[in-house]
Amino acid sequence: MILRSGKRIRSSEDDLERDRLSELPDDIILQMISCMPIIDAVRTVLLRRFGNLWTLVPTLKFDMSALSANLSQQESDHMGRRVSCFIRNVLMLHQNLSIDRFHLLIKSDSSYETYKAAAADITKWLSFGFDRQAEESMQQYERLLHGTESEINV
């Protein structure tokens, strides 16, 4: 609101338009991003203020278990390749030398050939967690092809 004297006084409308999130320090924003699922954290790159802060998060939580629900075999195989590519790219771009938490939860009902190809990727992903000295690490891989499930807690 502008007075006749030319001075500007703050109104409640100005407060509503003000971007207070961008005024927060990087450490606070990084802590907020760390609480998000990794797929949402990566999307923050689209916000100018957030930039590539997601690459420094100390928590990497990959919960991809719901992505392949109710898909055909072919769709499930395709989704598995996309998930592998996403995880590979996130780990490649991640810049924090140590991480607090590394969680990997994948549900697979893919074909045996896709499962064999994913096994090498999963081994690399687990190595990433160990290399970054994750304080808390949980990996769970559910195998639905033969109705077996396995969980590894490290």
pLDDT in tens, 40-55: 999 998 888 888 999 9
Establish if 5 belongs to a structural domain: no
Q: What is the model's pLDDT at position 152?
A: 42
Establish if 97 belongs to a structural domain: yes
Model confidence over 71-110: pLDDT tens digits?
677 777 777 788 888 999 999 999 998 888 888 887 665 5
Domain that residue 31 falls in: 27-153
Establish if 7 belongs to a structural domain: no
- What is the rounded distance in angstroms from the CA atom of residue 80 to the CA atom of residue 67? 9
Establish if 71 belongs to a structural domain: yes
What are the DSSP calls for 90-104, one per residue?
A: HHHH---SS-SEEEE
Establish if 18 belongs to a structural domain: no
Establish if 6 belongs to a structural domain: no
Are 99 and 59 in contact by the 8 Å Cβ rule? The answer is yes
Q: What is the model's pLDDT at position 99?
A: 87
Prediction pTM value: 0.71
Q: What is the model's pLDDT at position 112?
A: 57
Arithmetic mean of pLDDT, 14-28: 79
AA letter at 110:
S
> Measured between alpha carbons, how far is residue 114 from residues 52, 68, 69, 79, 140 in Å?
32, 14, 17, 11, 18
**Number of compact structural domains in the chain:** 1
